[in-house]
Structure 1
Amino acid sequence: MSRVDRGGRPRDPANDASILDAALDLLIERGAAGASIEAIARRAGVAKLTVYRRWQSKEDLLMAALEHARSTDTDTPKTARSIDELVELIAELLSRPRFQALMARVIGASVDYPKLVNAYTTRYLQPRLSALADTAQQAIDDGRFPPDTDPNAIQDILASSIGIVLLRGEDMTAEQIEHRLRTLLRQMGYR
């Protein structure tokens, strides 16, 4: 993410938060194509120049908004220490309509905004997938899965849960999502 620092008077942190909130809201409501700098500035109640002083491009701003979302209502509240905790956290997160809408928009942006999706994958998704693989390996080592289980297969099942929820096209509760994930894991031999 490229932040622009051109000196001058100190930046107002409230403007930063307003801009990031507006960018995230518009990304969710209209997608990346509909989240113009002008619309973001208008929603945030600032001048376009205020936005451009902080971010060089719309992609930079949208990536900053995605990172900002991690610290607001779309991120998991803690890190899981086990597969069971991980399933609960994933189910709770995926049951949030705002998170579902955000993921649908991020996935949808992959054709027209590949840099945005690549940056999201690199900065946000890959570190979480690596942690997920570590948790999966620990479960294998603890005898919760058969010893020949591929931790990447566990990772793929849990990571694909986003698709499970989005493609079903229906509201799913955290309990329903958790039940589905546990069923899939049991099919892999999870005890």
Structure 2
Amino acid sequence: MAESGAVAGIERHGRPRDPENDAAILEAALDLLIERGAAGTSIEAVAQRAGVAKLTVYRRWRAKDDLLMAALEHARAPDMDAAMAGQSIDELVSSIAELLSRPRFRALMARVIGASVDYPKLVTAYTERYLQPRLNALAQIAQQAIDAGHLPPDTDPSVIQDVLASSIGSVLLQRADDVTAAQIERRLRILLRHIGYWS
């Protein structure tokens, strides 16, 4: 995501960007987004939490939406993105369950969902840049499972996509902090078996 007023790591006034400041600002924005939601997060509060001047934040991100989107990009798990395309459904289910078992990740996603009314651009950008590519990869993995005979030949890959996406959404809406990866994985596997998946 291109940042407002900054190009190739140089601030608008020509001074080199400080990577430590960038990381501190983005981590502070994430913390506040999780604690207070998008409506309760301000650039002033982010600057205070990060221990930097307010102007330091504004030089990088002129608007709160830009800052929050950058914070969500910062929170992405690159290893998960890279692995999806080459995973089997079994491997994918295990990695999804591990990710969904993290309380911080679930809290962050709940805040993103909750921002849909007041901050639709933020949610749209997140969906287009983060969620939709993963759903597309999920459909490809489902098609590979059909081709390999792990699902009935007449299975629509979008059905697998919908089943897993709906189940993921249900887990994200749960408030319990003690849900384990094993519990989530078991639930996902039961759903897959009900639609004919066998490994």
Q: What TM-score range do you get, normalising by the shorter chain?
A: over 0.9
Instruction: Measure how far apart 1:167 and its partner are.
Output: 3.4
Alignment-mate amino acid for residue 76 of structure 1 = M
Moved over 4 A (4+): none
| Superposition RMSD in Å | 1.5
* Match in the other structure for 2:38: 32
The aligned counterpart of 1:7 is 13
CA offset digits 1:18-50 (Å, max 9, x no partner): 000000111111100111000000000111111
Structure 1 range deviating more: 60-69 or 162-171: 162-171
- Distance apart, 1:162 and its partner CA: 2.5
> How many pairs align?
189
Report the counterpart of residue 158 of structure 2 in structure 1: 152
- How is 1:1-80 mapped onto 2 (pairs within 5 angstroms)? 1-3=1-3, 4-5=5-6, 6-71=12-77, 76=80, 79-80=83-84
Q: Does residue 1:133 correspond to 2:139, yes or no? A: yes
Asked if the contact 1:20–1:64 (Cα under 8 Å) also holds between the matched residues in 2, the reply is yes
- Normalised by the size of structure 2, how large is the TM-score? 0.90
Amino acid of the residue matched to residue 189 of structure 2?
R
**Structure 1 residue ranges without an equivalent (≥5):** none
1:173 maps to 2:143? no
Deviation of 1:7 (Å) = 3.4
CA distance in structure 2 between the aligned counterparts of 1:100 and 1:162, rounded to whole angstroms: 10
3-state SS of the aligned residue for 1:34? coil
Counterpart CA distance in 1 for 2:103 and 2:66 is 25
Deviations 1:157-183 (A, max 9, x none): 112233221334333210110000000
SS at match of 1:43: helix
Question: Is the 2:34–2:111 Cα contact (8 Å) retained in structure 1?
Answer: yes
Q: Secondary structure at the match of 1:19?
A: helix
Deviation of the 1:78 alpha carbon? 5.2
Identity of aligned residues (%): 75
